[in-house]
Amino acid sequence: MEKRDLSFWQIWNLSFGFFGVQIAYSLQSANISRIFATLGADPHNLSYFWILPPLMGIIVQPIIGSLSDKTWCRFGRRIPYLFIGALVAVIVMALLPNAGSFNLTLAGAMWFGVITLMFLDTSINMAMQPFKMLVGDMVNEKQKGFAYSVQSFLCNAGSLVGYLFPFFFTWMGISNQAAEGVIPDSVIYSFYVGAAILILCVLYTTVKVKEMPPKEYAAFHGISEQVQEKKEKTNFIVLLRNAPKAFWTVGLVQFFCWSAFMYMWTYTNGAIAENVWGTQDVKSVEYQTAGNWVGVLFAVQAIGSVLWAMVIPLFKSHKLAYVVSLLLGAIGFASAGFITNQYLLFVSYLLIGAAWAAMLALPFTILTNSLTGEHMGTYLGLFNGTICLPQIVAALAGGGLLWLVGGSQPMMLVVAGVLLVCGALSVSIVHEGKQ
């Protein structure tokens, strides 16, 4: 079967729902440390609150990948899972920012926050992963890099919106302060609006995208029905044993990259509050102002990522683009640990955006180009382990590393920069192409 080219709008529709999913993800990543610090968490324990989300991801995503590989119904194979995930995420997004508003004890509010965070990240992962699978399923090798770049653009556009919501609502006059242990309305309203946009975007993709039926899919990927039936009975261990070299080599790069960004999400709020506003008092106006500014900085990172995503295709080599992007991000992280001017930090986070753009597009381009169509979803689900496992390790090590750097949250951003340099060096062993 001829692997036809898709039109721009067909590729756009495949990933448009990702815009809404990323709004939810960015609200989580920019505000979780702020929420738990406001509830009363110690800075040395902040990273531990980040263990459950990737832990759920590493469990859920391979299962979703495997199940969706075997699902063929009138609604498609991937779309039912992304729709259910989005629906659950909407419910949880209405609950999480209210953890401090139900007159619970400190411990009760913390547990409520942890449990809702676990469900939020599980549902976001359930909604997010099928979008990557849809590109792998329906786009030919020639257009795959472009398709993931479109997905990266929509991802960063969603991040931009989500990151700016608390700052925007505060500017509109919604309170950015609340009673001790209660999350400000500016954050609560951000989650409400983000949930509404999420479900609308996912509904758009659900209506616009028609997945291939089994026979067409098999013909598109050159899979005989007998081979397909046999392969579907293969378990995760066998698949990992037979994984292409790109799976493992890109996975090593991913380990350093996602560890670095875990520390950005965990410690930027405290680092900016300390460096720029000179406070670590979570009850102060300055701390909550710093929290809003973190959203602005993450939005700048998203802008940098959108701009750099347009540069990446100009590189003749995926590996060269990967290395340059990660080194720019390392410079951004290292500088963010020392800068005390809130506006000069824009430069740091623009550079960090370059690394983020590469992380969103290049690993999946390299991996899917090394795979046949067999078990595409399962392999992408398993590959999510290279995103989740580093975050779990980084979260477990975060408290100890913070102690080693003297309790300085700005220095944790420097640690993140060192990790990205290690990631850039690891690109040298990446193998591209089918084995």
Count structural domains, the chain: 1
Please give the full DSSP string across 279-340, using - where no structure is assigned: ---TTSHHHHHHHHHHHHHHHHHHHHHHHHHHHGGGSS-HHHHHHHHHHHHHHHHHHHTT--
Angstrom distance (rounded) from CA 310 to CA 84: 32
Q: Which residue has the tokens 């411990």?
A: 107
Other beta carbons within 10 Å of 49: 22
Establish if 239 belongs to a structural domain.
no
Cβ contacts of 248 within 8 Å, gap of 6 or more: none
**Tokens standing for residue 45:** 């324990």
Higher pLDDT, 257 or 156: 257
Least confident of 17-26, 114-123, 421-430: 114-123
% of the chain at pLDDT higher than 70: 93
pLDDT digits (tens, 9 = 90+) for 13-65: 988 998 999 999 889 888 888 888 888 888 778 788 778 777 777 777 778 87
Contact yes or no for 249/429 (Cβ under 8 A): yes
**Is pLDDT at 435 greater than 60 in this prediction?**
no
pLDDT at 313 over 70: yes
Report the pLDDT value the prediction gives residue 316, as an integer from 0 to 100.
84
Q: With the CA atoms of 179, 185, 190 and 192 taken in that order, what torsion angle do they form, in degrees rounded to the nearest 10?
A: 110
Residue 429 near residue 364 (C-beta atoms within 8 A): no
| Burial (Cβ within 10 Å: 0-12, 13-18, ≥19) of residue 65 | buried
Instruction: Please answer whether residues 163 and 26 qualify as being in contact, where contact means their C-beta atoms are separated by less than 8 angstroms.
Output: yes
The pLDDT score that the predictor gives to residue 234 is 55
Cα 247 versus chain centre, distance: 19
Residues ≥6 apart with Cβ < 8 Å to 69: 77, 232, 375, 376, 377, 378
The answer on pLDDT for 87 being more than 80 is yes
241 CB-near residues (< 8 Å, 6+ apart):
none
Query: What band does 285 get if pLDDT is binned at 50, 70 and 90?
Result: confident
Determine, yes or no, domain membership for 228. Answer: no
The CATH code of the domain that includes 271 is 1.20.1250.20
- In DSSP terms, which residues pair with 73 in a beta bridge? 76
Cα gap 302→285, rounded to integer Å: 26
Residue type present at position 277: W
More confident residue, 103 or 243: 103
Tell me whether residue 180 is in a domain: yes
Residue 233 pLDDT more than 60? no
Domain contains 111: yes
Asked whether residue 118 carries a pLDDT value surpassing 90, the answer given is: no
Confidence bin at 406 (pLDDT 50/70/90): very high
**What backbone torsions phi and psi does residue 363 show, to the nearest 5 degrees?**
-60, -40
pLDDT value, residue 197:
96
Between 42-46, 226-230, 333-337, the lowest mean confidence (pLDDT) is in 226-230
Nearest-10 Cα torsion for 337, 343, 349, 351? -100
Q: What tokens were used for 402?
A: 């913070």
pLDDT at 419 over 90: yes
Residue ranges making up the domain that contains 186: 8-211+244-429
The share of the chain scoring above pLDDT 90, in percent, equals: 38
Reduced DSSP (H G I as helix, E B as strand, rest coil) percent helix, strand, coil of the chain, to 5:
80, 0, 20
Q: Is residue 254 part of a domain?
A: yes
* Within-domain flag for 229: no
Report the chain's mean pLDDT, rounded to a whole number. 86
Mean pLDDT confidence for 357-368: 84
pTM: 0.76
Secondary structure of residue 73 in the 3-state scheme = strand
Nearest residue to 346 via CA among 310, 307, 293, 308: 293
Q: Is residue 225 part of a domain?
A: no
Query: Could you give the CA distance from residue 323 to residue 334 in angstroms, rounded to a whole number?
Result: 17
Q: At a CB cut-off of 8 Å and minimum separation 6, what does 238 contact?
A: none
d(CA 363, CA 366): 5
Residues 390-404 have pLDDT tens digits of 988 999 999 999 999
pLDDT, position 434: 58
Q: Which helix (H) or strand (E) holds 128?
A: helix 106-138
pLDDT value, residue 185: 93
- Answer yes or no: is pLDDT of 177 > 70: yes
Within a domain: 219: no
Q: What angle do CA 309, 313, 315 make, to 5 degrees?
A: 115
Angle at 332 between CA 330 and CA 336, to 5 degrees: 120
